[in-house]
Amino acid sequence: MATTTVSFRTDAELRKNADLFFETVGMTMSTAINLYLRKIVMEQRIPFEISVPVMSRESIDALKEAEELKKPGVGKAFKNVDQLRKDLLS
């Protein structure tokens, strides 16, 4: 079987962590990538689910509001649930 060279760019930290993992399981990155490519060809699909986390507009807005409330001088902070209850009932 003839071989060819494939070159790609990746994050340095990702590569370092991947190399450490491959060393732990006794394989090279080249072997791991070849396994991945063979699996794709064999199954005719990416061998894992690719999805995008979906957040509703309402959730995004609530997160933004929570971030604003964390800023000093904005909103109220409570040391415990009892303080929160007192404030809610007042």
Could you read off the pLDDT of 64-74 as tens digits, one per residue? 998 888 888 77
What are the residue ranges spanned by the domains of the chain? 12-43, 57-89
What is the pLDDT, as a whole number, of residue 35?
97
DSSP state string for the chain: -----------HHHHHHHHHHHHHTT--HHHHHHHHHHHHHHHTS-SS--------HHHHHHHHHHHHHHSTTSS---SSHHHHHHHHH-
Give 47's pLDDT tier (boundaries 50, 70, 90): very high
Contact 63, 56 (CB under 8 A): no
pTM over 0.75: no
Q: What is the pLDDT of residue 68?
A: 86
Q: How far is CA 67 from CA 21, 72, 83, in A?
A: 36, 11, 21
- pLDDT per residue as tens digits for the range 35-46: 999 999 999 999
